[in-house]
Amino acid sequence: MAASLDLYLSFILMKRILIILCALVALLSACKSKTQQAASQFQFNDDYGRIVNIPTQPQRVVSVAPAITEIIYALGAGDLLVGRTEFCTYPPETEQVECIGGITNLNIEKIVALKPDLVICGSLVDKKIVDQIEKMGIPMPCVIEKEKFNDLYDNIKRIGQLIGRAAQADSLIGAIRIQASQIDTLSHYDYGITEDEIPRPTVYYVVGFGKGGNYTAGGNTFVNDIIRMAGGRNIAENISGWNFSMEALMQANPDYIVVRKEDKESFCSMHPYDKLMAVRLGKVIPIESGTIDLQVPRNIEAIRTISDSIHHHRITY
């Protein structure tokens, strides 16, 4: 009888030990899982002021802004994109990526169906939509276009961080800095004077024109920096925003006008724009849409185009 009791007590003790061991294993496993999860994520401070948990190596990315899409491709990471907006049209390879609607009318169901592990948005996406998508467990950090040309470098760096391409981002930033410095040297035209003393022809950038009103880039935009880096002076540098009156345009009568290629003919033939000196002297600079409208690496092309035109006319005239 005593032997049976000892055997029973030993059995109970072993059972309790096994239960404790199982609990410890489960606890250690949970801790390991949390550690692995933490190691596979990092915290990102986005431009909405939120802290977003981001996977360290995202494999399926949706872009909700043309500038973000273009930068992702510039970083050699176009293969990560599984979704983009109808406005994301550069480079041409974007046609192969699933369209998820416009920027302000996103197809949330299609985004979710693409099973992204990361969605990156810009400034035009309503924060309510951002919150709605994140409630579904999909991180959606915001990286917006900013006021200064140099902010492009920060945006490239941040997007590179988001998609696991930090080294490529640093290389791209370095390449753009070199190109910008070379164009800036050309715009100085070796006057042997300081930058502030450089004679700068006046420039007007056409964003909108005609019955809808006149719109341009004010002094608080990166476009203003592009014009200055090209060697010009923006006639709208003293305004904030995009509205510009016809009276102010006619009075300023800029030396050069920059307009999208597709708008040049209609702008130059429309009254009263056809009376502007720049139109009459053939100093209207057609520019590739997207190189100046978006804050992207191709801004260098816009600077070069404007700079080359100004440089050409300085020699010709």
CATH number at residue 46: 3.40.50.1980
Tell me the mean pLDDT in the region 18-31.
54
CA angle at residue 258 from 257 to 259, to 5 degrees?
115
For every residue of 148-188, DSSP letters joined together read STTHHHHHHHHHHHHTT-HHHHHHHHHHHHHHHHHHHHHHH
Query: What is the model's pLDDT at position 186?
Result: 52
Q: Which residue has the higher pLDDT, 111 or 129?
A: 111
Provide the number of structural domains found in the chain. Answer: 2
Q: Which residue has the tokens 């961080």?
A: 161
Residue 86 in tokens: 């109808």
Whole-number Cα distances in Å, 177 to 153, 292, 301: 9, 17, 13
Q: How confident is the model at residue 31 (pLDDT cuts 50, 70, 90)?
A: very low
In a domain, 87, yes or no: yes
Least confident of 34-43, 202-211, 230-239: 34-43
Residue 23 lies in a domain: no
Residue 68 domain-assigned (yes or no): yes
Domain-embedded: residue 166: no
Instruction: Say whether both 199 and 311 belong to one domain.
Output: yes
Range of 73's domain?
42-144
The whole-number pLDDT of residue 316 equals 47
Distances (CA, A) of 205 to 221, 281, 306: 12, 17, 11
Structure tokens at 164: 């696991």
Which of 80, 110, 144 is the last residue before a domain boundary?
144
Whether residue 224 lies inside any domain: the answer is yes
Same domain, 124 and 210: no
* DSSP summary character for residue 61: E
Same domain, 134 and 202: no
Q: Provide the whole-model pTM.
A: 0.83
Beta bridge partners of 233: 202
In a domain, 95, yes or no: yes
Q: Could you say which of 115, 144, 173 is where a domain stops?
A: 144
248-251 contacts, C-beta under 8 A, 24 or more apart: 249/204, 249/214, 249/276, 250/275, 250/276
Q: Both 198 and 272 in a single domain?
A: yes
Same domain membership, residue 199 and residue 311? yes
Spatial CA neighbour of 64 closest among 28, 107, 1, 33: 107
3-state secondary structure of 144: coil
- Answer yes or no: do 195 and 288 share one domain: yes
Asked if pLDDT for residue 193 goes beyond 80, the answer is: no
Residue 172 forms part of a structural domain: no
* Cα–Cα distance measured from residue 226 to residue 149, given in angstroms and rounded to the nearest whole number: 7
Inside any domain, residue 183: no
Structure tokens at 226: 């592009």
270-299 pLDDT per residue, tens: 999 999 999 999 999 999 989 999 999 999
Strand 233-234 to 202-205 pairing: parallel
Residues 237 and 137 placed together within one structural domain of the fold = no
Q: Residue for token digits 């429309």?
A: 270
**Same domain for 200 and 140:** no
On average, the pLDDT of the chain sits at 87
- Is residue 12 very low, low, confident or very high in pLDDT (cuts 50, 70, 90)? low
In this structure, are 207 and 107 located in the same domain?
Answer: no
Domain end (from 144, 160, 176): 144
